[in-house]
Structures are given as C-alpha cells and as structure tokens.
A and B are shown apart, each in its own frame.
Chain A
C-alpha cells in the first residue's frame, strides 16, 4: 500500500522531469527554423482495485508530441515556392531593367530619333557631304545601340545558366537527403520528432528551390513531386535532375524516368529555379524576340526605300543597313559595308538626272518614322511598345513577388502560431512542471514518513 505511494510519487517526479525537459528543449529551439514545438502528453495511469476503491497508480508520460498542422504546413510550403519563384523572377527582371529601361535620353529610343533627324538634315541639303556623313554616323550609332541591347539581353539570359545549374544541384542534394530521411523514418518503429522536423525543413527548402508537393506514402514516407507531375523522390529513391545545353544556347533541365529523359524546362515554374526559367524564357525571351522583330521590320523598310534611291555617284539598289540576320538580328545589325565608308552612296535622290540636288528619296526615308509597321505603330512607338511590354512584365513580377511574399509570410505566421515556440508559454510550463516535481517529491517524503511510522510501530 505504501509502496504504491512511492510508485505514484516516482511517476510524478518522472512526469515533472519530462515536462521540464520538453519545455527546456522548446526554449532551446526557440530560433531554430523548421522546429515544431513539442508538448508533454500525460495520462492518468490505469485504475486498480484497492479494497473497495479503484485507485490510480500515478501518471504516465505518453509522449512528447510534435505540434503540427499538416494541411497548414502544406499551404506554407506551396506559398514559399510561389514567393521564391516571383522574387527570383523579379530580381532578374530588375537587373535587365538597366539594359532596356533608360529614361534619361540615352539608349535606342534616342539613337533612333537621331537617325531620323539626320535624314531630315539630309533632305534639307542632299548635296552636302557633311549631312551625308552625319547620316552614316547616326546610322552607325543606332546600329551600335541596338547591338548593345541585343547582346546584353542575350548575355543576361546566358548568365542565368550557372544559377540554373546551381539550382539543379541544390535540388538533387535536397532530394537525396529527403530520400535518406525517408528510409530512416520508415525503418524505425517509433517516430523520431527531430527526423520529421529535419525532413519537413528540407522539403520546405526544396519547395523554395523548385516547388515541391508531398504525397504521403506508407510508413510515414514522403514522396515528392515537382510541378508537372514529375516524381523527384519516391521512398528512398531519387530521380535526379540534370542539365544540358539547349539548341538556343541556354541550359535546359531534364529528368529521368522509366520512359527516358523528359525535358522539364518548360514545366518547372515554381521556386527560385522556376522564377529563373520564367524570367529567362518567357519574359526576357519575349522581349528579345519582340526587339529582334522590331529591328528586322524597321531595317527592311529603311532598306527598301534606300535601295530605290540613287547615291551621289548615280548608283541605285544599295541597302543602307546590311540585311538583318535570321538569328539575333539586333545583335548583328550593321551599316551595309558597301555604304559604310562612302557617304556618296547614301541615296537621297529619286531621279539620277536630278543629282545632286534631288532630295526626294531622303524625304521618303525620313518618312519611315511616320509610317506604321506591321504592328500598326509608327517605328518609334513600336520600339516604345517593346520597352513598355518589358516594363509591364517587370512591374507585374515585382508586384506579384511582393504579394506572394506577403502571403507566404502570413501563412508562415499562422504556422508559427500553431507550431512555433513562445518563450513566455514555455516558462509558464517550466514552472508548472517544476511545481509538479516539488509536489511529487513531497509525496515521496510523505511515503517515507509513513514507512518510518510503520517501522517505528514494529520496533
């Protein structure tokens, strides 16, 4: 009878000690990312028949339970993936902004205007060598500024290759760790909270890198899919991603599965990696394309009019710019070599009999700026359209990065509210269990006194 009191006291001591331990662990991990707080789960022990009474045998420490809301964690994970995608996209576009978005009068918009102004001047004095040289110089400056933008746009996209490769390495590393944790977790009979925390943290990082969805399997295994349904981790197996150079010169990502090596480049749209790919292929890709289209169309129009006119030397049929290249026309734009060194070759005249005074071809050329291109816009406006479309993308990316980050922060706060450690709370718990411990010690002391009494009686 008395021995059971000892037993009960002991169970109280154990519970108090465990409670203090768990609370201490929580306090220690107050700043650990990915840590889910634990609570000590106590249960009254089963009752026993003692004489006429059914009495308990103290308290049982059931477990130290990890406080987690899986549904919320899932939402946090996907919001992290989205926020990371938008932020990395926006970062890239911010950098590209410098290449295109000059508002201080430099850049292609101004060299284009100056090129047309030089044609105005040519029209006013077609026989003048100075105005001809001026046309050549302006055409060259225009070509150079177009080259710069074309080249920088491509370089910008090219520079993302190492980042993409690093992202893929990171995905493979994280995936391998998740797979090995899957194996450990599934092979244990008892769930280990710290392994679960570590795996959840890794998957969060995976989501931040590439966007990951968890598909829970048997024995607490987490299978991981990335967007487009590609299974990255299946139990303890990893289907690694790899990179290879693409036909357009930019690195591509491929997976590996039973059927072969599917190209995932256009499917990965979440996480930092997704953001980089969207910025590279959709945003900058579209801008580069629109830019190339604009340059090709403009140059063809200028050339058509120029080749209809006559140079001071009476020769007709010459292009002002070299015909635009099929690949990267902006980057390769140049004044036609036949004209470049020869101001007399600038075709200002429509009628060779009226050389050198005829300025009608020059007037035609200067009018290019007012004649709509295929897009229905006058050339300077068509150029501004290209720039504005890029600006719209960068603006939208920055706005969605902000809102996606805000959403992720809010969800993370909610998650923290469930699983995060509050020091105040833990301190209170600590006191609570310390009191339990003291109380249990008093119980043992009492049991001891009772025992002495009994021994004293005998003696």
Chain B
C-alpha cells in the first residue's frame, strides 16, 4: 500500500535529517579540534570513569614517586655518612692493633689516645648528622640528637617508613642508633671509643688487646648498616621502575579512552559530510517536485 505523503511530513522529515546530520558533523569536528573523544560523564560513563581512575593512578604514582625520592635522599645521605664512620673506625681499629703491641711506649699511647678522642668526636658528629630536619640515626621520634659525647643514646630504635606504593612502604632510615649500638647489650661505638681512650691513657696492653675485637665489631656494624642500606636502595630502584611502568600504562589507557582517534574521526567526518550534502540536496529538490510546476 502506498502511503499518503503530506507536505508537512515531507518538509519536517528533511529538516530533521539535515539537523541530525549537522549535529553529528559538529560533534565530530569538535572531537578532532579538541583532540578529546569525550568531554563529560554523560557521553560515555564507563570510559569517563576509566579516565578519572587513570588520572588518579597518575597522581598517586607521582605522590609515591616523590616519597620514594625523599627516602632515596635519606638513604644515600646515611650511606655516605656511614662511609666516613667506617673510615674513622677503621683507623681506630688499626691504632688498637698497633698499640696492643708491647713495643709502644706510654707516650706513643698517649698520642694515640688523643687521636682516638678526635675519632670519637668525629663519630659522634657523624652519628648526629641530619638531613631535611631529620637526624639520620635518632630513630622514629627525631626528638633530639642521637648521641652525646659521653656515649648516651637519646633516640629510639624505630625507623621512618614512607609510603611508596599500594600498601607498600619503605624504611627511609635505618633503625635509630643501629649502626652504633651493640645488639647484645654491650657498649655502643662511642662508649667503646671512650673505653679505648682510657685504656690507651692508662697504657694498659691487656685492656687494649681485649678491645681489638670490640673495635672491629663497631666498624663491622657500620659496614653491616651500609649493606642493609644498599639493599634498600636496590629495592627503591625496583619500586621506581614499577611506578614508572604504572605511569606509562595509565597514560596509555588515558590516551586510548580519552583521545580522539584522528584517522578514524576524519573518515567519519567524510561520511557525515556526504550525508549532510545528500540531505541538503534532497531538501532543495522538494520545491521542484510539485504538481504546481506542471500546471499552466
């Protein structure tokens, strides 16, 4: 059955078609011009959510990378401080071995004692190093400088832990006093040096020989701590790699979900233009197709 076609019907149909084509065209033009496939939640709720999630991932990754950077600064500074501590205690160890030998006189030992005193001052100074307002070896509380010249430890044994990932944290410091304290409850490094200085001043060979192992132990604690820091810096590298990878992945998803595929959009633009031209030419012809044109 043929359908009656009224004039209103014909015109409104072609106007609707033209309008629809035009809005389609404008949308594609906007996508190309802005480089964004979607601009709001209403256009594609699922993709929009992904976009926000990836933006969140990027910001979070950036924040963790910044914490990791701070941890790195603290760890690297601790390491270089401990290198100096190692050197100083190495010298103390040499002196101890040397002075344990009976061939040295009391005056030799006296000057050795002076040097040990300087070493102690140097070690205390190093142990009290700070970076960015934090004592490297005073533990978590950072209440006061960790060591006094008499060997009193004023810190705590905690560590500063910083967030570097999803439920992942990294210790940015060694345990408070750890490179200097004896884990079995014996003398700490500063006290050992005081004891050594005393023994030297007393020129007591037996006491000096007895201290050889202890001084070596003090130096080894610094070495052990450096090793621990080295491992942690290694882990930090891995963490940073992982954060970088997460950033790259998030950026890739972001581009895919958010950005216009220009090649694809241009093909669509062509299609849409052709459609609009067709709709316009049909509308233009409506006028010719009337009985009026065939009446005298």
* Chain A residues with a Cβ under 8 A of chain B: 30-31, 37, 93-94, 97-98, 100-103, 105, 109-110, 113-114, 116-117, 120-121, 123-125, 127-128, 351, 353-360, 363, 366-367, 369-370, 380-381, 384-385, 387-392, 394-395, 398, 409, 412-413, 416-425, 427-428
Contacts and interface: CB of A to CB of B under 8 A. Distances in A.
Given A127-B142, A381-B53, A418-B4, A357 B160 contact: yes
A413 to B, nearest CB: 5
B63 A121 contact: yes
A423 B8 contact: no
Interface string B149-184: 000000010101111001101001000000000000
A454 B239 CA distance: 124
B8 A30 contact: yes
19 contacts: A30-B6, A102-B40, A110-B59, A113-B56, A117-B66, A120-B63, A123-B162, A127-B133, A359-B160, A367-B163, A384-B49, A384-B52, A384-B56, A385-B49, A389-B45, A391-B44, A395-B43, A413-B9, A427-B291
A124 B70 contact: yes
Given A357-B134, A423-B292, A101 B7 contact: no
Nearest to A349: B141
A423 B6 CA distance: 7
Contact of B41 (A105, A363, A381, A390): A390
A254 to B, nearest CB: 32
A413 B14 CA distance: 12
Given A354-B143, A398-B42, A416 B172 contact: no
B41 A103 contact: yes
A97 B66 contact: no
A370 B7 CA distance: 64
B103 interface: no
B64 A120 contact: yes
B9 A120 contact: no
Interface string B30-60: 0000001011111111101101110110011
B105 interface: no
A405 B143 CA distance: 72
Contact of A388 (B41, B62, B132, B156): B41
B241 interface: no
Contacts of B41: 97, 100-101, 103, 387-388, 390-391, 394-395
Nearest to A118: B63
Given A97-B42, A358-B141, A398-B42, A125 B48 contact: no
A351 B140 CA distance: 10
Contacts of B260: none
Contacts of A37: 6
Interface in B159-212: 160-163, 166-167, 169, 172
Contacts of B140: 354, 357-360
A360 B161 CA distance: 8
A128 B145 CA distance: 17
A422 B172 CA distance: 85
A191 to B, nearest CB: 23
A98 B39 CA distance: 10
Nearest to A389: B45
B59 A392 contact: no
A123 B138 CA distance: 17
A23 to B, nearest CB: 12
Nearest to A398: B42
B153 to A, nearest CB: 15
A355 B48 contact: no
A211 B70 CA distance: 65
B87 interface: no
Nearest to B141: A354
B263 interface: no
A363 B163 contact: yes
A89 to B, nearest CB: 12
A84 B205 CA distance: 105
B267 interface: no
B52 A422 contact: no
B67 A121 contact: yes
Contacts of A125: 70, 132-134
Contacts of B46: 388
Contact of A422 (B5, B12, B48, B167): B5
- Counting chain A CB atoms within 10 Å of each CB, the highest count among B46, B71, B140, B295 belongs to B140
A140 B274 CA distance: 52
Given A110-B59, A427-B291, 12 more contacts: A103-B36, A105-B55, A120-B64, A121-B63, A360-B140, A370-B167, A381-B53, A384-B49, A387-B41, A417-B6, A418-B4, A427-B295
- Counting chain A CB atoms within 10 Å of each CB, the highest count among B9, B42, B55, B62 belongs to B42
Contact of B42 (A94, A117, A124, A353): A94
Given A101-B48, A123-B162, A387-B49, A428 B291 contact: yes
Contact of B141 (A357, A413, A428): A357
A424 B141 CA distance: 95
Contacts of B13: 413
A413 B161 CA distance: 72
Nearest to A422: B6
A103 B51 contact: yes
- Counting chain B CB atoms within 10 Å of each CB, the highest count among A102, A357, A423, A424 belongs to A357
A388 B44 CA distance: 9
A131 B72 CA distance: 18
Contact of B52 (A103, A353, A389, A418): A103
Contact of A120 (B44, B45, B66): B66
Contacts of B36: 103
A357 B143 contact: yes
Interface in B57-103: 59-60, 62-64, 66-67, 70-71
B20 to A, nearest CB: 10
A109 B6 contact: no
Contact of B48 (A103, A114, A360): A103
Contact of B138 (A351, A357, A367): A357
Given A101-B42, A124-B71, A354-B158, A416 B52 contact: no
Nearest to A98: B40
Contacts of A387: 41, 48-49, 52
- Counting chain A CB atoms within 10 Å of each CB, the highest count among B7, B44, B71, B292 belongs to B7
B161 A395 contact: no
- Counting chain A CB atoms within 10 Å of each CB, the highest count among B3, B40, B156 belongs to B40
Nearest to A380: B56
Contacts of A113: 55-56, 59-60, 63
Contacts of A355: 141, 143
A125 B135 CA distance: 12
Nearest to B295: A427
Nearest to A93: B42
